[in-house]
Amino acid sequence: MITPGGLTNGNYTITFNTGTLNITKAVLSVVADHITKTFGTVDPSLTFSVTGLKFSDSAASVLTGLLTRVSGETLVGNPYTITQGTLTANANYIIAFTSNVLTITAPSPLIFPPTLIGTNVIISWSAVTNGNYRVQYKPALTTTNWTDLAGDVNATNSTASKSDIQTSTNRFYRVQVLP
């Protein structure tokens, strides 16, 4: 309630009317950051950006709680939604939350010694189920560019492999993790 008072004027009669002042909550826009982590590692902190703070308020002084993510880790490459979790704002704000995702990537593969089967070289490596990989080769270590073997590999268990035709020149192989 607003109670006026204190004004005087010798030439006028002042009549005061009581009023009300309504203060609405400010909208605080909170946007979760896209996060990436390697399979088998601890989740990083789920972070966010904030706009709409008023006066000298800071995110630390206004917000409490933590973001959360949909649980699980079996699907490399699939996004896990980051949610508002327990994040709340003080009484002066209302949160407008925008979610994002945590993406899990496969770790760098460990390449096993190549094996020969007939006229084929078999390149095998450690993998993560559902991880996507690309095998590349070059004929000599001094060659600058790598060449892709046709067809990427989607791992179905903890090891994966790709076959290449044995050539008269030595080939050097590498395996890349794909997003």
Q: How large is the average pLDDT for residues 23-27?
A: 93
Nearest residue to 136 (alpha-carbon basis) of 157, 113, 156, 152 = 152
Q: Residue 18's pLDDT is what?
A: 80
Q: How large is the average pLDDT for residues 88-104?
A: 96
What does the domain layout of the chain look like in residue ranges?
26-105, 115-178
Distances (CA, A) of 2 to 5, 8, 15, 61, 92: 10, 18, 14, 29, 20
Determine the straight-line distance between the first and last CA of the chain, rounded to whole angstroms.
59
Phi, psi (degrees; rounded to nearest 5) at 102: -105, 125
What pTM was computed for the model?
A: 0.68
Task: Let me know: does 87 contact 29? Beta carbons within 8 Å.
Answer: no
- E strands, the chain, in order: 26-32, 35-38, 48-51, 63-64, 68-69, 79-83, 88-89, 93-98, 100-105, 115-117, 120-126, 132-138, 147-148, 153-154, 159-165, 172-178
Fold observed for domain 115-178: Immunoglobulin-like (2.60.40)
Q: Residue 13's pLDDT is what?
A: 82
Q: Residue 1's pLDDT is what?
A: 67
